[in-house]
Amino acid sequence: MDVRKLLEEVKTGEMDLERAEALLKDLPYEDLGYAKLDHHRALRSGFGETVFCQSKPDEYLVQIFKKFYERDGEVLGTRASEEQFRLVKALVPEVSYDPVSRILKVEKPGKEHTGLIAVCTGGTADIPVAEEAAQTAEYFGCAVDRIYDVGVAGIHRLLSQRERIMKANCIVAVAGMEGALGTVIAGLADAPVIAVPTSVGYGASFHGLSALLTMLNSCANGISVVNIDNGYGAGYLATQINRLAVK
Amino acid sequence: MDVRKLLEEVKTGEMDLERAEALLKDLPYEDLGYAKLDHHRALRSGFGETVFCQSKPDEYLVQIFKKFYERDGEVLGTRASEEQFRLVKALVPEVSYDPVSRILKVEKPGKEHTGLIAVCTGGTADIPVAEEAAQTAEYFGCAVDRIYDVGVAGIHRLLSQRERIMKANCIVAVAGMEGALGTVIAGLADAPVIAVPTSVGYGASFHGLSALLTMLNSCANGISVVNIDNGYGAGYLATQINRLAVK
Amino acid sequence: MDVRKLLEEVKTGEMDLERAEALLKDLPYEDLGYAKLDHHRALRSGFGETVFCQSKPDEYLVQIFKKFYERDGEVLGTRASEEQFRLVKALVPEVSYDPVSRILKVEKPGKEHTGLIAVCTGGTADIPVAEEAAQTAEYFGCAVDRIYDVGVAGIHRLLSQRERIMKANCIVAVAGMEGALGTVIAGLADAPVIAVPTSVGYGASFHGLSALLTMLNSCANGISVVNIDNGYGAGYLATQINRLAVK
Amino acid sequence: MDVRKLLEEVKTGEMDLERAEALLKDLPYEDLGYAKLDHHRALRSGFGETVFCQSKPDEYLVQIFKKFYERDGEVLGTRASEEQFRLVKALVPEVSYDPVSRILKVEKPGKEHTGLIAVCTGGTADIPVAEEAAQTAEYFGCAVDRIYDVGVAGIHRLLSQRERIMKANCIVAVAGMEGALGTVIAGLADAPVIAVPTSVGYGASFHGLSALLTMLNSCANGISVVNIDNGYGAGYLATQINRLAVK
Amino acid sequence: MDVRKLLEEVKTGEMDLERAEALLKDLPYEDLGYAKLDHHRALRSGFGETVFCQSKPDEYLVQIFKKFYERDGEVLGTRASEEQFRLVKALVPEVSYDPVSRILKVEKPGKEHTGLIAVCTGGTADIPVAEEAAQTAEYFGCAVDRIYDVGVAGIHRLLSQRERIMKANCIVAVAGMEGALGTVIAGLADAPVIAVPTSVGYGASFHGLSALLTMLNSCANGISVVNIDNGYGAGYLATQINRLAVK
Amino acid sequence: MDVRKLLEEVKTGEMDLERAEALLKDLPYEDLGYAKLDHHRALRSGFGETVFCQSKPDEYLVQIFKKFYERDGEVLGTRASEEQFRLVKALVPEVSYDPVSRILKVEKPGKEHTGLIAVCTGGTADIPVAEEAAQTAEYFGCAVDRIYDVGVAGIHRLLSQRERIMKANCIVAVAGMEGALGTVIAGLADAPVIAVPTSVGYGASFHGLSALLTMLNSCANGISVVNIDNGYGAGYLATQINRLAVK
Amino acid sequence: MDVRKLLEEVKTGEMDLERAEALLKDLPYEDLGYAKLDHHRALRSGFGETVFCQSKPDEYLVQIFKKFYERDGEVLGTRASEEQFRLVKALVPEVSYDPVSRILKVEKPGKEHTGLIAVCTGGTADIPVAEEAAQTAEYFGCAVDRIYDVGVAGIHRLLSQRERIMKANCIVAVAGMEGALGTVIAGLADAPVIAVPTSVGYGASFHGLSALLTMLNSCANGISVVNIDNGYGAGYLATQINRLAVK
Amino acid sequence: MDVRKLLEEVKTGEMDLERAEALLKDLPYEDLGYAKLDHHRALRSGFGETVFCQSKPDEYLVQIFKKFYERDGEVLGTRASEEQFRLVKALVPEVSYDPVSRILKVEKPGKEHTGLIAVCTGGTADIPVAEEAAQTAEYFGCAVDRIYDVGVAGIHRLLSQRERIMKANCIVAVAGMEGALGTVIAGLADAPVIAVPTSVGYGASFHGLSALLTMLNSCANGISVVNIDNGYGAGYLATQINRLAVK
């Protein structure tokens, strides 16, 4: 809404006072662009809506998934079960499912992947979380290099991948147990490192708390942390950073 | 070291075998660039060495500070006390100290500040940590916009600053107590948000644990977390991200 | 019991000493109203007996439910399973069950709902706890306005409901994960806010601990907290406050 | 700001377009009441601004205290030290200080105190927190009945005060160590109970955590909890509830 | 063994040196009574062997149960499942099982029960733990008075049982959630109180941690605590104390 | 009060109705013995009033100490500082102070000490807590045997004291760090063991939490636990148990 | 790779510059022995590859198990389920499985066992973890003496095994609940003690946290700790120490 | 004591019965070697007595230090303050003090140091704990190689010291903050690694808890952990292991 134009119309009498007052009543949100943000944020920002599937009631999940798909032509669902996949597929036959990352999606074909994000894991058990991150970033248009099983207990495995890691605009470091992967990578590379603690481990790992604390206390520079097992959050944030570099 | 040149000199006899072997003995790190990283990393990456002053023995602090200053012409120290300032000043008279951020530094004059980082706080008590972040980013060449005391308990204060926040390449959100600032900002802005929990609070804030957990569990996209009170880490990471955008 | 009357009857001989002594033996509680409280508290205070169904042995649950129903003509059960519903229904066919709130009840028809309580949630996953609060308050005679999915990660959703929220005598704010909803609402509204942390989330949410700490550390005024997932407690307390306003 | 009047003045030419546009630029918050809230919230809601003194830099504290006093004619400061009292007194000689509650204030004379709030403590060591609650409520215009040292380890002390407690519109229960006071009171009384855990205790009290958990897990109805030692928060909330009853 | 006698026999030559040396080699344990303790402790102390059934491999459980039964004529098993009951019954048909306390036992008939232990619970959900305590004490020969569902949220229920509680030599107070029962009882009674926290509750009860901390921080005198849900431990200790009183 | 006698006097007219009603108004507590308990509990139960000195305001401490002393002729204060000793001594010159146990007391001369309590410590650093327990028990009339520095890291030290320990009616086991003393003693002795964790230690002792958990998880029979450093509580409880044995 | 030889060949022209440069490019790892370590570490160090089976996807587990077996002629798998045993057996019929230790392995026949490791447990429930340690050490060529059920609650059981324990080069002490076994053994023996906390227990054992803290806070000398239930880690470390003694 | 000889002397009358009985009274421990252990353990095992100075009362510390010195000719004190140094020096002028390690000792001259222990630190702030370990090991006769400031955030620093580390019989890895040093070293070396978490750090390091958990969850083989800041414990254990290798 153009406030100046409204005022001019009030002055000239083209718009009566009642209508002007009514329009201005909604101004706060329209002027802030909130409503537009709401309807168009995904298009403007380049991030489509995402559905966190876990624990969503079946009917609700299916409807929301269908609605987003019909509106945007694509949709990304995270933490979906095989059962949810079957339910959604009945309504949206185009949907595909990856049991490792638990990602359920319809994706527009021919998407270009730009820039570069490196996704690294400490062990093979961290791969599901890493794939959630990698596939999220790919869905949002990033090129991703997967560098798995390079944990610090065998440091040569990581060192031999140094050059691949150094090429990325942003690095996602996924690790459970002692969780030191992020620190060593941040010490080697210049790009920002997003550390993802995983709940992989037992005993005093306390379901990922150990890896989380390790990552928060990293003595390397250029590292930050997301929630335990939050591959999606890391993939999203890595995409934002990669876009800044690509722009 | 140029390996090809060395080999040619060995072939032509310009370099004898003993010396070539000795030089190659250090190759692993030189060829990997480790040694260079070590000596020159700061120059190459654009991040000078930083001194974490807290608890450093006096003599050690003064010597390391002086050495870095003599080599690089500037040096940044964090978490310094007034007492440490006096000790360093005796040897390095050019040093300056900010009692709020507790930053002790010598900075080259005429530094250009590019890009834009927004540094926001929930309350006035979070300003020391925010200043550590802001001054770190400025030291490393970033333009910084300070937006303080915009905590979510009076949401209009934050909303009125929306446009300033939206302009930044990266946003640092500093908050203690319930620590919800990062989530609200990440919901409004498209740039990556680095959340810094602070130890401001009492009782069940448990010295920043409450704010830390809040930030890790944010339901907004595009947000990651650093250690409690780690303004320096946030400023460093924000600089890395800002540089990607500026490049 | 009227002590004066008893004494007069003792004096006149209408009551013999043995009976007077026996009656006075229970006096401590009767005079204090304890026994009455016990038998009649629900009627006097307007809060009927409630049954916490979870983990109750089947037989015990069915008998207590039936007994309360026969005495009061209505009864409210919380945290009931579908299995428990079937068991109770066999004896009390009038009973109804809501699988979302897990409330099992018989309610007197034609109940008037007065005052106004607003029940808000951060996300859709918080709705079961919110419904427990809302239906509890309705059962005890309050009008309830449900305002769901207005979490602070998209602050405009909450702001657009500001006027509805401002009308309530008491606001129940239900949220998991980072749990900042209560703070933002308390900053907007003048009515008391009861914050209910939920166990919604994963990783460092630690089954609701994160939201609980957030709410306890709120920097807004006029907010208090109940146990994780305690929708019933919030609904009960909101009813007490609403009644004070209606009186 | 009266939008209608502004529009009329635009129409009649009393106000030119530039000035009208500038005024409307701030409208979002005025129309939402944000700006008014900001400037006038205290007057409208009846809650004056409060200053949390602890850790405030001296100069900042003194200025903010003076400014609020000059604007509103009264001001309430919490968690103030004796040293802060001396500093403020130099500029605002009317200020008074209570070393027990650590409240620093200037209060308008002749304030009427309405309704009734009961403030109870488990022991004498809880009195400072209780006084913060009581004096806050009195400052905001409530009548307060202090019932101290009625902890549940000697239950008859509490029972003998039952009638006084029953008269209140809202009860504040302040207790450290095992913190069971709130539960017993909520079991006796019909009014809402605000439980305040205190950091009184040692060993496994973990600085108030024990009392906090006790209060959150109360099996009584009609009780909610604020942060450890948060007497101010309890006093504020109790005032809101008391006002609903008095209205 | 009588050392003096042995020495005399050595002196007189009744015992040769080899034999005396061999006997003295075992002296440490025999003189200390360790070996006897081992074989006869149960008989001497009056406490038979007990079997903690939970997680015991089936074969091992059955054999140990049978062996104790054959040796002592009775045996007490705690935390047994129905499945374990069936397995043991196949070999030891005399065994009986109580699904509430989960106690599996063969008990000698006609046992006399002396002294008096009061076992109290806060709610009905605490009864399984209380029964473990009560039946343990009865098995070891104590008279037990069960006083259930007298939680502090309805203090009159507890007060009306005051006289029964006062008669006991030792009181076991079993409670979950806020766990304040022990404190109130210790404030009323003169006998030692053994508090048993239970894992009854949800949310911030953290599986009994809340009740445990409450009980450890009790401000009453004469109270101590055992592990969460440790009814057996409380029953054993109460028996020791009751025997001291009976002796 | 004799209720029957009162009723008879009412019947005969010896007592008028007003007076009878007034007397009965206090009946709840008098009939329950509450008021008597209150005034005379110490005398009846043989436990005089105790003052927890720590954090008590100076004036309050001095007055309460003096009052108890004047009424009972003796008084026990715990956790007193040297400064508090000086303040009290100015008013009550008979008072004595032990800097190790921090006990401040006036004790009647010629007190007989009966029964036997053994107070054991793991190390020398646990002695202050042990002395608080021992002197408390002695103040209340028990004979105490001190067996210090018998920690389980050198098990022979403990074993060599086995006979002394076996003679006690109740054993107090005071230990910090790994806190295993109580378990080993309970395995050797038949008397009840009260375990007192101390805050002695560093690092992962977490101010006594480690010892507390050890003691709660003891696999020995006949052991219970009090709060960290709670020597007084252990001494009081041991006295109760010792009296049962002596009676 | 022999660097000197390469240089000589470059000098003589036997090797051209391109090839020499290419070979040197891999030097960092070859010269450091990383690649060799990678391929041959197991052979050189005498520790074959081990497979942590828990949570490994079926196909992955079977392939990796088969591959290691084919290469090395033997393979050790830990934390395997019976289901995994069946899957592996289909491909590798030589495999054997122990349901107690959950070890799945093919082992070369005729292995010599040298030195001596003592593996002790507090109770019978700790045996699965102890067997994982014992069988791991045996697989790696150590002689093992199993000393089970010697918990400190019956100290004579442990003392009677003192001589066996004293003979070992290294002692593994496995215990849950209060976990004091390691301390008492370290106080008796001169060999290094590796303490393994187990998750055996309930309530305040917090899944092994209690035993872990006990062991970390041991006041005995010569003791260190591994993760909760980490029998494999203890067996591996004990083997390293035993080999040092045997060498 | 020679039992055979005693018996012979009894037989021959050289020793009377009373004296023989008295001597045998101490036999349990002497025959077990306990008493000898007690008096002579240090000499036999080669580990002299050590004094943990922290919190020891002054007089007690000085006496015990002097006594050990007089008996053994040398003594090692840990965690001593400068003040304690002065006090001891007054009585034992030979004593020396190192303010970094806080070790207070008198050491016999000309001690031979055998074998090799490597002591590594992550940063310079970990050096005090490392020195406690190194000087303890040297005091007990080990050769020590100090390799400081080789934290994993700059992995090349550690790699360049690989050969020195590989030579040791046992490696002590001292690190705070994220504490990953031990894992990387255990992945490189074949010798046992003793990890020492330090309390170096801030915020979510929780006084060493973060490093402790990291080390317990290490995914490398051959690593165990001691208490936070427990340099002495690591030095002692490393000595035991080094001696096994040297023997």
Reported as a single tens digit per residue, the pLDDT across B28-66 is 433 333 223 333 455 446 677 788 898 787 888 888 888
pLDDT at B45: 62
**F11/F21 Cα distance (integer angstroms):** 13
B204 in the Ramachandran plot: left (φ > 0), alpha (ψ -120 to 50) or beta? alpha
Q: Which residues 31-90 of C are in CB contact (within 8 Å) with F? A: 31-32
DSSP code, position H208: G
Q: How many domains does chain D have?
A: 3
Helices (DSSP H) in F1-126: which residue ranges?
A: 3-12, 17-25, 27-32, 34-45, 58-72, 82-91
* Beta-carbon contacts of residue H97 (< 8 Å; ≥ 6 apart): H80, H82, H85, H89, H103, H104
Does residue H141 sit in the same domain as residue H212? Answer: yes
Does residue E136 sit in the same domain as residue E87? Answer: no
Does residue D224 sit in the same domain as residue D131? Answer: yes
Chains that touch A (3 or more CB pairs under 8 A): B, C, D, G, H
Match 């002490």 to its residue by tokens. G173
| Residue closest to D104 by CA, chosen among D43, D61, D59 | D61
> Hey, what amino acid is at G220?
A
| Residue closest to F126 by CA, chosen among F211, F67, F236, F58 | F211
- DSSP letters, H142-195, are EEEEEE-S--GGGHHHHHTTHHHHHT-SEEEEEE-TT--HHHHHHHH-SS-EEE
Give the pLDDT mean for B195-207. Answer: 93
From the list F169, F226, F244, which residue is nearest E224 (CB)?
Answer: F226
Contact yes or no, G with C (3+ CB pairs under 8 Å): no
Cβ(D137)–Cβ(D242) under 8 Å? yes
Judged by DSSP in three states, C190 sits in coil
| Residue closest to H117 by CA, chosen among H224, H218, H194, H216 | H194
Does residue D144 sit in the same domain as residue D221? Answer: yes
- Give me the half-sphere count of Cα atoms (radius 13 Å) on the Cβ side of residue A102: 18
Cβ(C169)–Cβ(C191) under 8 Å? yes
The confidence band for F137, taking pLDDT boundaries of 50, 70 and 90, is very high
> Hey, what amino acid is at C142?
C
Does residue H56 sit in the same domain as residue H139? Answer: no
**B224/A239 Cα distance (integer angstroms):** 13
Cβ(H182)–Cβ(H211) under 8 Å? no
Give the pLDDT mean for F50-54. Answer: 88
D233, C212: Cβ pair inside 8 Å? no
pLDDT at G34: 30
Nearest CA in chain D to E187: D153
Task: Please report, in tens digits, the pLDDT of each residue of chain D (247 residues total).
Answer: 467 777 888 888 888 888 877 666 544 333 333 223 343 455 446 677 788 898 787 888 888 888 888 878 899 999 999 999 999 999 999 999 999 999 999 999 999 999 999 999 998 889 999 999 999 999 999 999 999 988 888 887 888 788 899 999 999 999 998 889 999 999 888 899 999 999 999 999 999 999 999 999 998 999 999 999 999 999 999 999 999 999 7
Q: What CATH number should be reported for the domain holding residue F119?
A: 3.40.50.1970
Residue B39 located in a structural domain: no
Which of C106, C127, C143 delimits the end of a domain?
A: C106
From the list D170, D221, D225, which residue is nearest C225 (CB)?
Answer: D225
Cα torsion angle, F22, F23, F28, F30, sign: positive
> How many other C-beta atoms lie within 10 A of the C-beta of residue H39?
12
> How many other C-beta atoms lie within 10 A of the C-beta of residue C118?
25
H11, E8: Cβ pair inside 8 Å? no
Q: Which residues of G touch A125 (CB under 8 A)?
A: 55-56
Copy the structure tokens of residue A107. 């994706």
> How many other C-beta atoms lie within 10 A of the C-beta of residue G203?
24
* Beta-carbon contacts of residue F61 (< 8 Å; ≥ 6 apart): F51, F53, F77, F84, F87, F88
Give me Rg for the CA atoms of chain G. 22
Element counts in chain D: helices (H) and strands (E): 12, 9
> How many other C-beta atoms lie within 10 A of the C-beta of residue D89?
15
Pairing assessment for the beta strands C142-147 and D193-197 based on DSSP bridges? unpaired
Does residue G125 sit in the same domain as residue G181? Answer: yes
Cα torsion angle, A219, A225, A228, A232, sign: negative
Beta bridge partners of G52: G78
Copy the structure tokens of residue B143. 């333009």
**A94/C18 Cα distance (integer angstroms):** 86
Contact yes or no, A with E (3+ CB pairs under 8 Å): no
| Pick among H102, H202, H229 to test the B interface (most B CBs inside 10 A) | H202
By residue range, what is the domain housing residue F170?
114-246
Flag whether residue F156 sits within 8 Å of chain H, measured between CB atoms.
yes
User: Average per-residue pLDDT in chain D?
Assistant: 86
Residue H119 located in a structural domain: yes
From the list E154, E160, E203, which residue is nearest C229 (CB)?
Answer: E203
Copy the structure tokens of residue H17. 């019965």
**Burial (0-12, 13-18, 19+ Cβ within 10 Å), D64:** middle
Judged by DSSP in three states, C246 sits in helix
Does residue H63 sit in the same domain as residue H174? Answer: no
**C6/G103 Cα distance (integer angstroms):** 80
* Beta-carbon contacts of residue B218 (< 8 Å; ≥ 6 apart): B182, B183, B186, B195, C153, C177, C178
Beta bridge partners of D103: D98
Residue G40 located in a structural domain: no
How far from chain centre, in Å, is Cα E117? 12
From the list H34, H60, H227, which residue is nearest F204 (CB)?
Answer: H227
DSSP code, position A94: T
Flag whether residue G163 sits within 8 Å of chain E, measured between CB atoms.
no
| Pick among A102, A228, A236 to test the C interface (most C CBs inside 10 A) | A228
Give the pLDDT mean for E203-208. Answer: 92
**B175/B185 Cα distance (integer angstroms):** 12
**D62/D60 Cα distance (integer angstroms):** 6
Does residue D139 sit in the same domain as residue D120? Answer: yes
| Residue closest to C209 by CA, chosen among H146, B217, G171, B228 | B217
> Hey, what amino acid is at E73?
G
* Beta-carbon contacts of residue H11 (< 8 Å; ≥ 6 apart): E10, E11, E13, E17
- DSSP letters, A155-203, are HHHHHTTHHHHHT-SEEEEEE-TT--HHHHHHHH-SS-EEEEE-----G
Does residue F138 sit in the same domain as residue F215? Answer: yes
The confidence band for C213, taking pLDDT boundaries of 50, 70 and 90, is very high
Contact yes or no, A with F (3+ CB pairs under 8 Å): no
Cβ(F196)–Cβ(F117) under 8 Å? no
The confidence band for F26, taking pLDDT boundaries of 50, 70 and 90, is very low
Does residue B91 sit in the same domain as residue B175? Answer: no
- Give me the half-sphere count of Cα atoms (radius 13 Å) on the Cβ side of residue H226: 32
| Residue closest to C204 by CA, chosen among B218, D84, F122 | B218
Percent of chain H with pLDDT over 70: 89
End-to-end Cα separation, chain B, in angstroms: 28
**B152/B215 Cα distance (integer angstroms):** 13
**H211/H129 Cα distance (integer angstroms):** 14
Give me Rg for the CA atoms of chain D. 22
Which segments in chain H show pLDDT lower than 70? 1-2, 22-46
**A220/A185 Cα distance (integer angstroms):** 9
**G159/G169 Cα distance (integer angstroms):** 18
* Beta-carbon contacts of residue H142 (< 8 Å; ≥ 6 apart): H113, H114, H115, H116, H117, H238, H239, H242, H243
Q: Which residues of E touch F222 (CB under 8 A)?
A: 236-237, 240
**Burial (0-12, 13-18, 19+ Cβ within 10 Å), A119:** buried
Residue E14 located in a structural domain: no
Which of A53, A85, A106 delimits the end of a domain?
A: A106
Nearest CA in chain B to D228: B203
**B51/B80 Cα distance (integer angstroms):** 9
Does residue F120 sit in the same domain as residue F231? Answer: yes
Residue G13 located in a structural domain: no
Beta bridge partners of H228: none
Residue A18 located in a structural domain: no
Residue G211 located in a structural domain: yes
From the list F124, F200, F203, which residue is nearest H229 (CB)?
Answer: F203
Least confident of A13-27, B83-97, F94-108, F115-129: A13-27
Residue C102 located in a structural domain: yes
Which of A55, A75, A106 delimits the end of a domain?
A: A106
Does residue G202 sit in the same domain as residue G119? Answer: yes
Cβ(D119)–Cβ(D174) under 8 Å? yes
Match 């100490």 to its residue by tokens. F65
Task: Please report, in tens digits, the pLDDT of each residue of chain A (247 residues total).
Answer: 467 777 888 888 888 888 877 666 544 333 333 323 333 455 446 677 788 898 787 888 888 888 888 888 899 999 999 999 999 999 999 999 999 999 999 999 999 999 999 999 998 889 999 999 999 999 999 999 999 988 888 888 888 888 899 899 999 999 998 889 999 999 888 899 999 999 999 999 999 999 999 999 998 999 999 999 999 999 999 999 999 999 7
Copy the structure tokens of residue E56. 């015991």
Copy the structure tokens of residue C154. 């998209």
